[in-house]
Structure 1
């Protein structure tokens, strides 16, 4: 298990595919990453209030650190997981433009 995952939101779709991860929104807790082993990774502290559309538009790289001993049980209704199709639909729906590298 990796201790951290860095996601470049300028190329978020290929990052999700290549790293075999999904975006995970936890009710009241923000944006996380879920890997293929269902491990959760939390966004670095100074990015906690960032919105997905801004991360994509600004094309920033964000570090997510593994969550060890997550306090509390996460119910399915508290968790929304997005893979490539959902993120692609979000980008299209919001007319987001990714900046060029």
Structure 2
């Protein structure tokens, strides 16, 4: 199956069930920060730009609250570093 056919299949199944407020995964900056709540790097940056001062405030900005807590240190690092967007950070594969 090619990438295009996968996208077509995803679009078919999303259909009426896709929320207009939440784009498909393929339309987002592909990295999730919070898997429990589905919050991406771009959404973290959006919350930081809106004035969120801590990880809980970032999640609250998107109507979420911490679940397992594994994302909180990464969000805190993003706040301290001035943002998390794909253009602001380089991703390094684990060795």
TM score, norm. by length of structure 1 = 0.23
Structure richer in strand, relative to its length:
1
Structure 2 length as normaliser, TM-score?
0.24
CA radius of gyration, larger in: 2
Higher helix share: 2
Higher RCO, Cα 8 Å, sep 6+: 1
